[in-house]
Amino acid sequence: MLPKARPIWQGKRVTVSRPLAAIILAAGQGTRMKSQLHKVLHPIAAKPMLLHLLDSLEILAPQRQIVVVGAQREQVEAAVAGRGVDVAVQSPQLGTGHAVQQAEALLAGFEGNILVLYGDVPLVSAGTMQAMLDALIDTVTAVVLGFRPADGAAYGRIIARNGVIEKMVEYKDASAAERAVDLCNSGLMAVRSADLWRLLARVGNDNAAQEYYLPDIIGLVSTDGGVAHVVETTADEVAGVNSRAELSAMEALWQAARRAAAMADGVSLIDPASVFFAHDTDIARDVTIEPFVVFGPGVRIASGCNVRAHSHIEGADIGESCEIGPFARLRPGTILGAHAKIGNFVETKKAVFGAGAKANHLSYIGDATVGAKANIGAGTITCNYDGFFKYQTRIGAGAFIGSNSALVAPVSIGDGAIVGAGSVVTADVEADALGLARGRQAVMPGWAKRFRAMMTARKTK
């Protein structure tokens, strides 16, 4: 199980003994994703993988951050704009050691610790990164992050004694005894800058692929009489993504951890496995969430709310003790005051509801302000778009909108006003007035009986 979705030191900066830089490798082709989108930009919980990693890294306050890509540089640059991240290109792609070297020029003059991370291993926590840095003491040249999966498969193995690495070996080159070792190499490392560049300069490509492999520096550390340590974490934390199936599995890991965190924080999930959170979903205690609820980004829910089944909520700020759903859709810009109710098959967008306001059935309320304790009847729509521009509807406090009404914006319904059912309102209705906009009903006594007789005679003839 992953750590909680919230970082270990949320909101705090961690002081390290030396300046910190991070090199994030993301030059893989990602061909198994079969996508025009760069692999590390595929989302988990509605946030790109790369940004998950950068958010965790930010807690350690790195001085420099460099992402090494092989192609689609412009996509990565757009995703990290404003975050102080540099992008380097590895072309041609000659292995992980060669990829790290592409960051050397950008780190010219930097003296400190360097974390080597992977853009497709997004859930490694700030706590684990800090543990790696803590292990990089003066007598240690390099630190490798290891893990013990249920099935070591083709992972490289780490042979270590009391945390000191004696040997690292790729699976294809390992003996039967070495393959039996369950400590595997995640690929993540911490190395001082001066040591990293001098070691990489000596790495050769005398292998079948003729590539330069980052793990080879550990063998050079041993050759030089130095020491490399291993720090261990869980297999889930260093799980990688190379395919759509692995992306789905990563999403499942994240969601399971977030559901557990929500329940531990006092949120009731009736059927946890059917609820899906976004990376920034903020839910207070004593909120109940029924089955099959999906949260998009930007949702805050205050205490005491009940979110009923099959609702979709995105970009909404929901006040205390609100009732949502079932089958409600709250779109970005929705703001609900305390005790507001949005019922079944109601859609809202850029709509602000005052305290106690209600739209209980089958309505669309968009680009609107709804006053406190206003009641919107079934089948009501705010006609906010003319094909070119959006317009505002204002519904005053305590107003009552009858069923099957169309409010053609821009329009204002005053405080306490009533709109008769079936009205098409195109002009403002003043406070406490009755607004009616429908054809006058005509009743013709006996007409239906005469009609049936006439038609029956015609059919018989």
The verdict on whether 361 is a catalytic residue reads yes
Helix (H) / strand (E) containing 217: helix 216-223
Q: Cα dihedral angle (196, 189, 47, 278), rounded to 10 degrees?
A: -160
Determine how many CB atoms are found less than 10 A away from the CB of residue 133. 20
**Mode of pairing for the β-strands spanning 113-118 and 184-192:** antiparallel
Q: 3-state class of 185 per DSSP?
A: strand
Please give the structure tokens belonging to residue 351.
Answer: 């709509």
- The CB-side HSE value for 279 (13 A sphere, CA atoms) comes to 17
Determine how many CB atoms are found less than 10 A away from the CB of residue 300. 15
Q: Which of 189, 149, 193 is nearest to 165 (CA)?
A: 189
Query: Is residue 30 within 8 Å of residue 121, measured between CB atoms?
Result: no
Q: Could you say which of 52, 229, 312, 361 is catalytic?
A: 361
**Distances, alpha carbon 408 to alpha carbons 94, 393, 425, 433, 437, in Å:** 63, 8, 6, 18, 12
Any bridge partners for residue 429, and if so which? 413
- CA–CA separation, 438 and 422 (whole Å): 7
Residues with catalytic function: 361
